Amino acid sequence: MSDENTAIRGMIFNKITLDFPEKNELLFRKKYFSDSIIQFRIAFLLVTVLYAVFGYLDSRIVPEYANLFQIIRYYVVVPILSVVLLLSFTDFFLKIWQVLLFISFIVAGVGISIMTMLVPENYSYYAGLMLIFSAGYFFIKLRFFLATIAGWTTLIIFNLGVIIYAHTSGEIILSNNFFFASANLIGMFAAYNIEYYARRDFYLNQELDKQMVAVEEINKNLEVKVVERTIELVDAKNKAEQSDRLKSAFLANMSHEIRTPMNAILGFAYFLGDAEDDAERNECIELIVGNGKHLLSLIDDIIDISKVEAGVLELNHTEFILNDLMQEILKLFLVDQNVKSKELKLLCVNALGSTESKIISDRKRIKQILINLVNNACKFTDTGSVEFGYKIDQKSLLFYVKDTGHGISTDQQKYIFERFMQGALDSTPNLEGSGLGLAISKSLVKLFGGNIWVESEIGKGSVFCFTLPFNQSTESIINLNQKV
Ligand code: ADP
């Protein structure tokens, strides 16, 4: 109930004419017309018939005026009402019906007024005008404002006629006026209320429709949200299950990875004790150092991935010359076992000159990513070349590592950046790796705010790319460029 009251308070309308603001008024009038048309036709038919039937009384009550009264009834009022009734079956009636009803009210009222004027003391005609007032206000569906004007206009015309033609006493005229004016007042107030409630219903229905649309919209959104959430949950569940599987695989793989160099270290340590000459001793030491280094890098990877998982890995920005870093990596791999044994061509391509390439960024982490990628490229390329370098790409530095190696299948490309993948990929040839390099690289690139991806074709080779956006490092490049 209180909701209804709150809604009604929002109803805007003209307090005198009851009109709504423009667009709503048009809608209301359409609705009022369709709700009223049947009642209007019945009312008009009845009023017209009664108007005609009452002609019977004329010749009996006032034979001296019967002719004139019948002309009024049968040549003016009844034909006009009949035409209006017929017009109600046309399409354009909607546009003109209220004006026609207004005219009909006045015509019928003035008709009886003339009769009352001529025989003012005759109660039959006085009663007839009262009937016209009640029909005009309550029956024919003329709207309040027009009915009021028509009602009072009729009364004014009656009074003008009475003043000009009356042959009767002022008391009768006064008493008639009392009743006619009262009928108009009662009609006005009742018609006002009837129309107000019709408008109120219309407005409340409109509000209800709006709310229903809003509720439907909310329902639709809810459904979409439920579907989205369900998909998210299924995704999360799948990821959790996959992550669980991958972690188990990773642990199994790691144990194996750690045991291999550990066994080698222990084994060669025993051999060292039994070594017969320096050459044998040196060989043992070399193997112990090599396996120790491998073990150390494995442990470094595990620490890095653990830090990434825990979200505690932070970048440490310093100023450095990027080209120097690239050169360092080139030198490192020129003596790499894979490059030397397979006689790979190693190329480093820099987009900027040495001084221009001064940047502020995390040197250690860029180096780590590049070493991971170049190392993989050398590891998985049997013949041909490995090229790495960087370009300036709009708002980021684009690094790439290109090889002419095995290539990676489209299926595998989807997983290689995932953590602990190597152990889970049966097809991956075990070429000494933790399976963490790409996962760590991806996490680091993300930490920089960049992207990493691979384009590859089996048998032709692969290109690994990653971007480092300008907001950190390259703005500094620009600044430093300006200094140069
Ligand atoms: P891993 O320590 O095994 O190299 P990574 O995460 O670095 O671990 O790489 C995951 C897997 O992706 C590799 O085992 C290999 O199968 C594949 N891979 C990575 N880089 C290349 C490449 N340049 N060419 C072909 N395969 C690659």
Has residue 484 got a pLDDT over 70? Answer: no
d(CA 376, CA 388): 12
d(CA 157, CA 188): 18
In terms of phi and psi (left: phi > 0; alpha: psi -120 to 50; beta: otherwise), the region of 119 is: beta
192-244, pLDDT tens digit by residue? 999 999 999 999 999 999 999 999 999 999 999 999 999 999 999 998 888 78
For position 193, what pLDDT does the model report?
Answer: 96
Query: Quick one: pLDDT band at residue 432, thresholds 50, 70, 90?
Result: low
- Mutate which of 297, 427, 438 to test ligand 1's pocket (most atoms within 8 Å of Cβ)? 438
Point out the ligand 1 atom lying closest to the alpha carbon of residue 372.
Answer: 7
d(CA 166, CA 307): 111
Helices within 11-140 (DSSP H only):
22-53, 55-61, 66-71, 78-87, 93-118, 123-134
Has residue 420 got a pLDDT over 70? Answer: no
For position 345, what pLDDT does the model report?
Answer: 96
257-313, pLDDT tens digit by residue? 788 888 889 988 888 888 888 888 898 898 899 889 888 888 888 888 778 777 788
- Of 73-77, 108-112, 209-213, 415-419, least confident by mean pLDDT is 415-419
**Residue 283 C-alpha to ligand 1 middle, in angstroms?**
30
117-162, pLDDT tens digit by residue? 888 888 889 999 999 999 999 999 999 999 999 999 999 999 998 8
Point out the ligand 1 atom lying closest to the alpha carbon of residue 461.
Answer: 24
- The mean pLDDT value for 330-339 works out to 92
- Mutate which of 385, 422, 426, 456 to test ligand 1's pocket (most atoms within 8 Å of Cβ)? 422
For position 2, what pLDDT does the model report?
Answer: 56
For position 123, what pLDDT does the model report?
Answer: 87
For position 472, what pLDDT does the model report?
Answer: 43
346-357, pLDDT tens digit by residue? 999 998 888 888
Q: Which residues line ligand 1 (CB under 6 A)?
A: 372, 376-377, 380, 403, 405-406, 408, 416, 421-422, 428, 433-439, 462
For position 429, what pLDDT does the model report?
Answer: 42
For position 482, what pLDDT does the model report?
Answer: 32
- What contacts 409, CB < 8 A, 6 or more positions away? 458
Q: How many CB atoms lie within 10 A of CB 51?
A: 22
d(CA 321, CA 350): 12
For position 414, what pLDDT does the model report?
Answer: 85
For position 121, what pLDDT does the model report?
Answer: 80
